[in-house]
Structure 1
Amino acid sequence: MDHPIAPSGPLDAASYRERLHASTWFGALTAALQDALIGIAAVRRLGAGEILFQRGDPPDGLYCVVEGTIRIGSTSADGREALLAVLEPVNWFGEIGVFDRQPRTHDARADGNTTLLHMPQAALIALLDSTPALLHAFALLLTHKLRLTFTILEETALLPAPVRVARRLLLMADGYGDLRLGSRRVLHVPQEQLAQLLALSRQTVNQVLKDLQARGMLRLAYGEIELLDFAGLQALANAPARG
């Protein structure tokens, strides 16, 4: 059986330190805490479509996407997929299992060649046990994601499709609230994936995106969306819900 071609690049986790500073969470840590995390991290590479972990797998630590994309979701017995997040650099994930020691709640798969930093479970737990300040930092990471979850649930229940699309595009551009060096302009997300993320039909998402393109807010290309008018998208995202 052929194996996917893994991406190439630096083998040392420390070589990604500058890139990690794009993360608001990592950038807020002291230099000592940053050194401690990088010191236990290993570089892990996945080829396109390769599985990192699946629902029910034992927890194996914390990950950070530094190149490529990770899809977080689950697949039902009849093959239907629920896509929850598309993680691009620099996003951290996997922290729930570090704390509750329970099996993985969802699947994680590389969507294209992807490079991760991996902080293994045992080494990370030992570091947390010896470094109370890091426990506080991880509490902030967890509460940030909890806020996002509540916000997304509310939007799904209350907001019309165009507003939801605009909000999710801006959220992804901002690294789900964790990019501190400016928003990314190009999102590597096919329309089908965006529809899954928003629990909308592909036809609805396609119609909304084409309208936004006609209004000059974005440009559609194969497998990606380029954001052109952040102010216009923000105005749409802030439009009051009509009940």
Structure 2
Amino acid sequence: MPPTQDLIPSPKPALALAPPARKRSFEHVGTNDLWAIVQAGRWFRGLPPELAAHMQHMAQPRLLSPGEWLFRRGDAPCGIYAVARGSLSISGTAALQENTRTALLTLIEAPSWLGEIALFDGAPRTHDACANTACALLQIPIAPLREWLDATPQHWQPMALLLTHKLRASLIALEEQTVLPAAQRIMCRLVQMAMGNEQWADRSRTHRELAVSQEQLARMLGLSRQTTNQILQELQLAGWLQLRRGKLEVLDLPALKAAAQTGRTSANDRTGC
């Protein structure tokens, strides 16, 4: 996803690290249960059987506590990952004189994949990936996967499609962030998240509860917290959304989707910001 327009000060390092004694929520979940979720994804469902079977054979479960890093910018690539439970935040940091600032790019949920850029170029990680909630992932090591793909080059194309899907989504998001007013940008992003960013093979599958706070939504879209809250309050007043502590609940996705196309923020045909 494209960078936000505004750089937001980073949280203190102490808040970014999970407490050592905190238990992970998915320790009881088996690998087969994780694969059942990943296999319901649109990209994985379309893989050639030989490639899908090889990836499943190589994969190992990876559990993260809230606030635990999956990788940091500059780290050497060690795998590609499928998110099966929970969500990850993808962000970038920059040192500006004496201040360190961060831009929240996106939140990644099941059944999305990440880390595939390094599969092609072998370069260090470009951004930070941190557990937004407790997470259960499947990790496939890059070195043996690349070796197998080189030996069976016909399977590189599906891996390239994983990359192009994200590039297409990034270009659309960049256009929206450049030309759409704030209210319409918020509604478009909420619709995308509710529809699982179109990652499910079953296109009718949607999320009612979105694990995103108002602050996170504002940071992803380069908006102020005040502007974001005002627009969300209007959407709640229209009956399309319910604001909850640390998350948002979509009450009427068809109405929200229609409003995202027109920019309306209420049922009374008011124009968005």
How many Å separate the matches in 1 of 2:120 and 2:107?
Answer: 23
Q: CA deviation at 1:22?
A: 2.4
Partner residue of 2:197? 176
Question: Which AA in structure 1 matches 2:183?
Answer: P
| Residue-pair matches, total | 241
Match of 2:42 among 5, 21, 24: 24
Secondary structure of 1:183's counterpart equals: coil
Q: Name the residue aligned to 2:164.
A: 143
Supply the distance in 2 between the matched residues of 1:225 and 1:188 (Cα, whole angstroms): 7
Shift of 1:34: 1.7
Calculate the TM-score normalised by the size of structure 1. Answer: 0.93
When the two structures are superposed, what TM-score results if normalisation uses the length of structure 2? 0.83
Is the counterpart of residue 222 in structure 1 residue 241 in structure 2?
Answer: no
The equivalent residue for 2:91 is 73
**2:266 corresponds to:** none
Q: What SS does the corresponding residue of 2:196 show, helix, strand or coil?
A: coil
Distance 2:232 2:201 in 1: 26
The 8 Å contact of residues 5 and 48 in structure 1, kept in 2 or not, is answered as no
Say if 2:111 is the partner of 1:93: no
**C-alpha distance after superposition, 1:162-194 (max 9, x if no partner):** 110111011112222212231111110000000
Q: Partner amino acid for 1:212?
A: L
Alignment-derived partner of residue 120 in structure 1 = 141
Q: How does 1:228-243 map to 2 (within 5 A)?
A: 228-239=251-262
Whole-Å Cα distance in 1 between the matches of residues 176 and 102 of structure 2?
21
Letter in structure 2 aligned against 1:40: M
The 3 A distance-change label for structure 1 pair 126 and 4 is farther
Superposition misfits of 4+ residues, deviation over 6 angstroms = none
Give deviations 1:204-233, integer Å, cap 9, x for gaps: 111111100110111111111111111211
User: What aligned pairs does 1:46-57 form with structure 2 within 5 A after superposition?
Assistant: 46-57=64-75
Q: CA deviation at 1:30?
A: 2.9
Three-state SS of the structure 1 residue aligned to 2:243 is strand
Partner secondary structure for residue 189 of structure 1? coil
Counterpart residue number, 1:2: 20
Q: 1:135 Cα deviation (Å)?
A: 1.1
Shift of 1:133: 3.7
23-32 or 99-108: bigger deviation: 23-32
Offset, 1:11? 4.6
Does the residue aligned with 1:76 lie in a helix, a strand or coil? strand
After TM superposition, the structure 1 = structure 2 runs for residues 54-65 of structure 1, keeping only pairs within 5 Å, are 54-65=72-83
Greater shift in the superposed pair: 71-80 or 60-69: 71-80
Give the match for residue 36 of structure 1.
54
Deviations 1:66-109 (A, max 9, x none): 11111100223323221011111111000001111111000001
Query: Matches of 2:101 and 2:160 in 1, distance apart?
Result: 33
| Letter aligned with residue 10 of structure 1 | V
Residue 213 in 1 paired to residue 236 in 2?
A: yes
2:199 aligned counterpart, secondary structure: coil
Q: Given residue 50 of structure 2, which amino acid in structure 1 is its aligned partner?
A: A
Contact 2:92–2:127 (8 Å) recurs in 1? yes
Unaligned runs of 5+ residues in structure 2 are: 1-18, 264-270
For 1:64, what is the secondary structure of its paired residue? strand
8 Å CA contact 1:4–1:50 kept in 2: the answer is: no
Alignment of 1:95-114 (within 5 A): 95-114=116-135
Question: Equivalents in 2 of 1:199, 1:17: separation in Å?
Answer: 35
Report what 2:6 is aligned to. none
